[in-house]
Amino acid sequence: MEWKCSEFKHLSTHELYSILRARSAVFVVEYAHIHLDIDDKDQGALHIFGLESDGGSPQVVAYARLLPGNEQEPEVVIDKLLTVSKRRDDDTRDLLMTHALAAVQTVWPDHPIHINVSAHLEVFCESLGFRKAVGSLLDHGASCIGMARGQAQAGHSRERATVHAARDDAQDFDARGPLHLIDRLGMT
């Protein structure tokens, strides 16, 4: 499996199509959550994904979207987490979260992280340092819990200077491009 970390503008047409296809197959079809998956947040996100080829074109088998915080919701958000069904009984989920957390730490060091997950993943996320922050809630019609890691565990706000620092980090990342991050994470 090949792991990639990319900004939206650096995704190839094939990568973008494969990401959207995987998200639609898992979230809309498999989970039967009828919703518009394309939500205008992809352009400002960092995309972590695993590609695998079964003789044809490489297809996304694991994916996570990382959204930088803002003044209203300052935590970095990891969302759209998925593994395709054929990769759910191995370590693909663990590798995906390892890559996603490494990317957050590299781009937005020491910023709190928020994630919404199905209740059955609570113990797994706790093993990664997340703590339950919000009880049962609906996310596109699916029951899940909100979990936080870092400063977000103590509350949902950071000091204004920290928010501006996150924006500066994101702007610096944009100027350097994704190859700088990929090199630091060891992804190809």
- Bridge-based pairing of strands 76-83 and 113-117 is parallel
Residue-level pLDDT at 187: 59
Residue-level pLDDT at 28: 85
Positions of E strands within 45-171 = 46-52, 59-67, 76-83, 113-117, 131-139, 142-149
Is there a contact between 78 and 125 (Cβ–Cβ < 8 Å)? no
Residue-level pLDDT at 172: 39
SS (H, E, C) 12-75: CHHHHHHHHHHHHHHHHHHCCCCCCCCCCCHHHCEEEEEEECCCCCCEEEEEEEEECCCCCCCC
Superfamily of domain 2-182: Gcn5-related N-acetyltransferase (GNAT) (3.40.630.30)
Global pTM reads 0.79
What token pair was written down for 183? 């090199």
Q: In tens digits, what is the pLDDT along the chain, a chain of 188 residues?
A: 999 999 999 999 999 999 999 999 998 888 877 888 899 999 999 999 999 998 889 999 999 999 998 888 779 999 999 999 999 999 999 999 999 999 999 999 989 999 999 888 999 999 999 999 988 877 766 788 999 998 644 444 333 223 333 333 433 344 444 444 545 555 54
